[in-house]
Structure 1
């Protein structure tokens, strides 16, 4: 692992966990602070097909945060990452248990890919794609369905 990648992950992974807990507890502030305001920015998933441009991305972040009130458990499992110059990406699994705004317990596991751009020495998210993994039963992997209990 390169020193550049190690430095990026040392800075970003704790932030990933903090912002994940915050947004799934209904507070979007740390999550919105992690995003670039410089175009282009985009989101795939999060209950929408796609959103591009900061105003639409911000609206999506606020909608997601407004869907939750309490994050009881959050974990991020990094699968792979890379840094090249002022661009980086991470791919991993985001798992959380939270209370929805309607009081239901929600357990989710999302496949998440994020792209980052270094701006003024700080890494900012410029793209996020988060979705549920395909649910397929195989002999060695029983059927599991993510979502509300």
Structure 2
């Protein structure tokens, strides 16, 4: 395994912690890993596209506000790779989300692709595409 791949694998452990905080309504840890330099994009599970670092961060903060403490999430990585300046992972994000206004946690499975780039010595999230995982109809 290359140094870049090992570094990204280590980073993905932090990414899991960031995701757990986010689904509990805390966007702060995500703020440390989102891109500060353009471009940045977000394709939300609810549809639509957000472009620009400020706009993407604003949307992440807004969406985190929909969650309540006590939610859980797991990133099931199907594939990931890293080079000198770009990395990605793709897989399934499973959650039991406590949503504001909902009496019970909501089970959720998303197909996710995230792309990261190096900004200084850190990996930064520059693109997230997430949509609901649906079972194929036979």
Shift of 1:59: 1.8
Determine the structure 2 residue equivalent to 1:35.
34
Determine the structure 1 residue equivalent to 2:83.
84
Does structure 2 conserve the Cα–Cα contact (< 8 Å) formed by 1:81 and 1:89? Answer: yes
Measure, in 1, the Cα distance between the counterparts of 2:54 and 2:4.
Answer: 31
Rg (Cα) greater in structure: 1
Determine the structure 1 residue equivalent to 2:120.
120
Determine the structure 2 residue equivalent to 1:74.
73
1:1-149 superposed matches below 5 A:
1-10=1-10, 12-104=11-103, 105-138=105-138
Q: TM-score normalised to the size of structure 2?
A: 0.91
Determine the structure 2 residue equivalent to 1:144.
none
- What is the SS of the residue equivalent to 1:100? coil
Does structure 2 conserve the Cα–Cα contact (< 8 Å) formed by 1:21 and 1:71? Answer: no
Gaps of 5+ in 2: none
- Determine which structure has greater relative contact order: mean sequence separation of CA pairs < 8 Å that are 6+ residues apart, divided by chain length: 2
1:51-87 per-position Cα deviation (integer Å, ceiling 9, x unaligned) = 0012210121012111100243221111111112211
Runs of 4+ with >4 A deviation: none
Does structure 1 conserve the Cα–Cα contact (< 8 Å) formed by 2:23 and 2:72? Answer: no
Shift of 1:136: 2.3
Measure, in 2, the Cα distance between the counterparts of 1:17 and 1:93.
Answer: 12
- What is the SS of the residue equivalent to 1:70? coil
Gaps of 5+ in 1: 139-149
Does structure 2 conserve the Cα–Cα contact (< 8 Å) formed by 1:72 and 1:98? Answer: yes
Measure, in 2, the Cα distance between the counterparts of 1:38 and 1:25.
Answer: 26
1:97-116 per-position Cα deviation (integer Å, ceiling 9, x unaligned) = 02101134211111111111
